[in-house]
A and B are shown apart, each in its own frame.
Chain A
C-alpha cells in the first residue's frame, strides 16, 4: 500500500462530508441574502453535515464488519478506521450538534457571521474526527493543530470583548509552546526508529526490547532516556489538549473569556478528542501488538523498556495532582464558568486515573466516562449560558434565587452538578463507579492510594458544586422577576437531563457499545499489515 489507493477515499467519507459542509457554509454565508432566513438555513446545513458525517461513520463500520474486517488503516497507515474511532466520531458529532444548538440560542454571538462561526466549529469537529483516527505521528500532529488553531480563533470570536481577546492570546501562546514541544518529541521518536506510523514504531520498539543489550552497546543506556524525553514531550502536547496539570494554566482564562457556547464545546469536545488520541498514541506505541486485544486481558502489557521508567507512576501522579489542584482551585471561584473550568480539569484527572490502569476495564471506563461527562458538562454550561443571557452575568450571585425565578433550569442545573459530583442515580455516578472499579480491581498499593485520593476529591468537589445549588435554592433572590429563558433552553436542558437519568438507571446498552467498540481495537486479525518505509 505504498501508493494512495482510491478505495481509501471511500473510507474517509465522514471527513469528506464534514469538509464539504465547511466549504458550503463559507459559500452560503456569502451567497445567501436575508439575515433571518440565512441563519436558519446555515444552522440546518451545519446540523445536516454533522449528522451526515456521524451516519457515514456508522455506515462505514457496518460495511467493514460485513467484509469481516474490524479495522483498517488508510492512506499509508495515516488514519485508522475502526469501531473505536467510529464510536468517538459519533460522540464528537453529538457534541457538535449540541454546540450548534447552544450557539443558535446564544446572545453572545453576532448573528451576522453565523456561517463563518459554524464553519469554524465544524472544522474543529473535522480535526477531532482525524484525532480519533490518527495512526501516524504526522496525523497526530496535524489533527491536533487543526483543532488548536481553529480553537484560538473561536476563543477570540467576540472581537470587541477584552476578555475574549485575552483568552485567545493566552490560548495561542500556550498552544504554540505545547505544540512546539510535541513536535520536538515527535522528531525524537522519528529519529529513534525512522518511522512515523504508530504500529511501525510499536514493532520497532518491540524488536529493540527483544534484542540483547550487548548488541547495542552504550546505545542501550541512552536509548530509554531518549524515549522518555520523546514521550514526555509528546505528552505535553496531548496534556495541554486535555488540560492536565501542569499544562492546564490556559484553561480557566480561556473558558471564562470565550463565548459560552464555545466554552461548553471546548470543555468536552477537544478534551474527549485528546483522550482518544492518548489512547491511540499510548496504547498504539507502548503496548506490544502481539497482545492483540491483549491489552484488554493482560494488565501489565507495557513495553519492557518502561520497567526502568515507570510511565504508569508518572501518569498516576499527574492524575492525582490534576484532580486535587482542579478541585481545590474550584472552591474559591465566584464565577461559575471559571469554576466549571477548574472542575473540568479535575474531571480530566479522574479520567487519567482510569487510563493509568491500562486494563480492558479501565479503557472501557475511560470511554464511558468521556461520553457521560460530555452530556453532564455541556448541560451545566447550557444552564450557565441561559442564566448569562437573561441576567447578564455568570457569577454565583447571578444564580441567586434561580430556583424561584426559573425552577426548571435550576432543577436541571442541580441534576447536572450532582451528576458531575457522582451521586446516584445520575449517570455521572455510573461513570465514576466504572473508573474506581477499574482502579480497585488492580488491587495494588499505589492504585489503592490513587483510588482513595480520587474518592476524597469527589467529596471535595461536592462543596463547590453545591455552592451553586445553594445560590439557586437556599438564598433569596436579589431580583424576584421570573426569568423567561425561552423554550429553546428549556427543551435543550430536558434533552440533556433525560440521558443523565436513563443512563443512571440502566446503562447496559451504552457499556455494551463501548465494549464492542474496544473488542476489535488492535486485535491482530483486524490490523492491516502496513509496509515499512525504507
Chain B
C-alpha cells in the first residue's frame, strides 16, 4: 500500500511541516490582525497539537499486528517494514532509507506518544510561543528520524538535528541556570557525536561486498562501500570488520566500538558521562524534561543496539562485561545520589540515570529475556519518567519551588495529586503490577542466566542491582513522606489544590498505560521479541574480539 511506504516519512516530517506552518502563521499575523480578528497565541498551540497528534495516530498502525479487519500492521517476524527508500547522494552511496524493525518499532511509538503528551503539557509556556512550538516540532522530527533511519549518514543527520532545538528549548525557556545547562548539554552531546562521525566514516570505508553479500543502492547500482545499516550488520555478522586492519594499533572493531559507544553512552547517560543530565533535566521546562527523559535517553541505548550490538557483535562480546559493570554503577550510584537530593526534579533526573542502568545491564547480558527486558525497560521508563516530570511540574507551577523539605502534609490538601504521585513513584520503584516492575524483573532474570561467553560475574551484578531497588524504594518513600505526610505547611494553603484539565489530560493517559502494560506487557514483547532474540543469539554466537 502506497500509504505504508510514506508512513514513517510522514510521521517524521509532519512535525517539521507543522513548524513551518507556525512560522508561516506568524508571518501572516499582521495581516490577520488588521482584519479586526485578532489572532491569539492559541492558534500556534493548536497547530503544534495537531502536528504532534498525527504521528501518534499513524503510530497506531505500527502497534498492532491486526489492527483493523484485514489490514495488517507491523509484523514482528517480518524484518524491516514500512520502508521508504531512494538514492539521496549517489557519489557517496547515501540513501534516504527509512524503516522500522523489532529494535526500533517500540521506540517510534514511544516518540509519537511522548511528544504528543509533551505538547499537551506545554500549556504553561507563555513566553515566545512561536519559537517554542516550532523548535519543539523540529525536535520531534529529529527524534523520530533517528529511530526510523536505516542509513548511517541519515541517522547521523537526524541525530544532530535534534541538538539545536534542544539547546534553545532549554536555553530560552529553562530555569535559572538555563544557559549553563543548555551549553553543557550541547557540548557533551556534540563531543560524543563527532567521535561517532569518525567511526561511521571508518565503517563506511571498510565495508565492501563479500561472498553472498552484495552491496547496491536501491536503484540497482552496485557499490563498493555502504552506509546501509542493515547491510553493515550483515557484513559485521559475517566477520568483515573483525578482520579489518587495526586503527592506531588497536583492533578495528574495538576502536570503532568505543568511538560509537562513547557517543551513545553520553546520551544514555552512562556513568561517568552523566553529569550533563541533572543540569539539563532540572533547568529544562517541564515538557522538555518529559521529552529528555522519555525519548532522548533511549536514543543512546537504541543506538547501541542498532550500531554496536548489530554491526560489531565480536567487540560487543569483548565489551559486554564492562558495559554491565558500568550499568550496575549507574543503578547503584545514581540511587544513592537520589537519596541526597532536596530538589524533586533533580531526584527524578537521577532516578532516570539509575533506571537506564538496568537497560545497560540487560543489554550486556544478552540473553533473550535480558535484552527484551532491557528494551521493555526503555519503553517502561519512557512512560513512567515523563509522568514523574509532569508531577514535578505540577507542584512547581503552583509553589514555584521544588524543594522537597519545604512541603509537608500535601496529601490531605491535594489528594488527587498525592494519589497520582504515589502511583508514579510506585511504578518507578518497580511495584509488581506496574510497568516498571516488568522490565526490571526481566533484566534481573535474564542477566542471572547470562551465558558464559558474555563474561562471568553477572550474578554478582544482578545481586547488587537488585539490592539497590531497596534504595530506590527508600528514596521514593522518603520523598512521599516528606512531601505528602506529616504536618501541613501553612505556607501553601493558598495554592490551587485541584489539577487542571491539561494536567489531567496528560497524567491520566500515562497512568492508564503504566497500569495496562504492567499487567499485560505482551503487546510490546510481541513487537520486539523476534528481532531482539535473533540479535541476542547472533551476539552470543560470535567469537569475541
The residues of A with any CB-CB pair to B shorter than 8 Å are 414, 418, 421, 423-425, 429, 433, 436-437, 440-441, 443, 445, 448-449, 451-452, 455-456, 458-459, 462-463, 466, 469-470, 473-475, 506-508, 511-512, 515
Contacts and interface: CB of A to CB of B under 8 A. Distances in A.
Interface string B79-91: 0000000001111
Interface string B124-135: 000000000000
Interface string B230-272: 0000000000000001011100000000000000000000000
23 contacts: A418-B164, A425-B157, A436-B198, A436-B201, A437-B92, A437-B201, A441-B205, A443-B205, A443-B247, A448-B248, A449-B248, A455-B194, A455-B197, A456-B194, A458-B190, A462-B187, A463-B187, A473-B171, A474-B179, A506-B88, A507-B89, A511-B91, A512-B91
Contacts of B205: 437, 440-441, 443
A142 B164 CA distance: 46
B463 to A, nearest CB: 39
B464 to A, nearest CB: 34
Contact of A456 (B171, B186, B191, B201): B191
Contacts of B90: 508
B194 A448 contact: no
Given A440-B202, A473-B172, 15 more contacts: A423-B163, A425-B161, A437-B92, A440-B198, A443-B205, A455-B197, A456-B194, A462-B186, A463-B187, A466-B167, A474-B171, A474-B172, A475-B179, A506-B88, A507-B89
Nearest to A470: B179
Interface in B132-169: 156-157, 160-161, 163-164, 167-168
A425 B187 CA distance: 18
A493 to B, nearest CB: 16
Interface residues of B, number: 35
A418 B171 CA distance: 16
Contacts of B163: 423
B190 A451 contact: no
Contacts of B187: 459, 462-463
A506 B86 CA distance: 13
A414 B190 CA distance: 16
B290 to A, nearest CB: 21
B473 interface: no
A414 B172 CA distance: 14
A440 B201 contact: yes
A424 B171 contact: no
A426 B89 CA distance: 15
A474 B197 contact: no
B25 to A, nearest CB: 15
A441 B161 CA distance: 25
B366 to A, nearest CB: 30
A418 B205 CA distance: 27
B332 to A, nearest CB: 30
Interface centre among B163, B167, B205 (most CB of A within 10 A): B167
B187 to A, nearest CB: 6
A424 B197 CA distance: 12
A424 B157 contact: yes
Contact of B186 (A436, A455, A466, A506): A466
Contacts of B157: 424-425, 429
Interface string B175-219: 000110011001100110011011001101100000000000000
Contacts of B191: 456, 459
Nearest to B205: A441
A508 B245 contact: no
B183 A463 contact: yes
A53 B186 CA distance: 44
A423 B160 contact: yes
Contacts of B183: 463, 466, 470
Given A462-B190, A463-B187, A455 B245 contact: no
Nearest to B167: A466
A436 B190 contact: no
B89 A508 contact: yes
Given A424-B161, A448-B247, A508-B89, A459 B194 contact: yes
Contacts of A443: 202, 205, 245, 247
Given A424-B156, A425-B161, A455 B198 contact: yes
Given A424-B157, A443-B202, A462-B187, A436 B89 contact: no
3 closest residue pairs by CB, A with B: A455-B194, A424-B157, A459-B191
Nearest to B26: A407
Contact of B89 (A445, A474, A506): A506
A456 B197 CA distance: 11
A298 B171 CA distance: 49
A330 B161 CA distance: 25
Interface centre among A418, A449, A474 (most CB of B within 10 A): A474
A368 to B, nearest CB: 11
Contacts of B160: 423-424, 429
Contacts of B171: 470, 473-474
A458 B160 CA distance: 13
Nearest to A452: B198
B195 A455 contact: yes
A500 to B, nearest CB: 14
Given A463-B187, A473-B171, A474-B179, A445 B194 contact: no
A458 B194 contact: yes
Contacts of B248: 445, 448-449
Contacts of B91: 508, 511-512, 515
Nearest to A451: B198
A445 B250 CA distance: 10
B94 to A, nearest CB: 10
A25 to B, nearest CB: 40
B10 to A, nearest CB: 18
A449 B248 CA distance: 8
A512 B157 CA distance: 22
A508 B160 CA distance: 21
Nearest to A512: B91
Nearest to B158: A424
A438 to B, nearest CB: 9
Interface string B88-117: 111110000000000000000000000000
A459 B198 CA distance: 13
Contacts of B245: 443
B338 to A, nearest CB: 30
Nearest to B204: A437
B249 A445 contact: yes
A423 B195 CA distance: 14
Interface centre among B91, B156, B190 (most CB of A within 10 A): B190
B538 to A, nearest CB: 27
A429 B202 CA distance: 17
Interface string B296-308: 0000000000000
Contacts of A474: 171-172, 178-179, 182
Given A441-B205, A459-B190, A473 B168 contact: yes
A455 B195 CA distance: 7
A449 B164 CA distance: 28
A466 B194 CA distance: 17
A201 to B, nearest CB: 34
Contacts of A512: 91
Interface centre among B91, B157, B197 (most CB of A within 10 A): B197
A458 B194 CA distance: 8
A377 to B, nearest CB: 19
A451 B194 CA distance: 10
A436 B197 contact: yes
A448 B245 CA distance: 13
Interface centre among A436, A455, A458, A515 (most CB of B within 10 A): A455
Contacts of B198: 436, 440, 451-452, 455
A300 B213 CA distance: 31
Contacts of B164: 414, 418, 423
A452 B205 CA distance: 17
A274 B324 CA distance: 52
Nearest to B23: A411
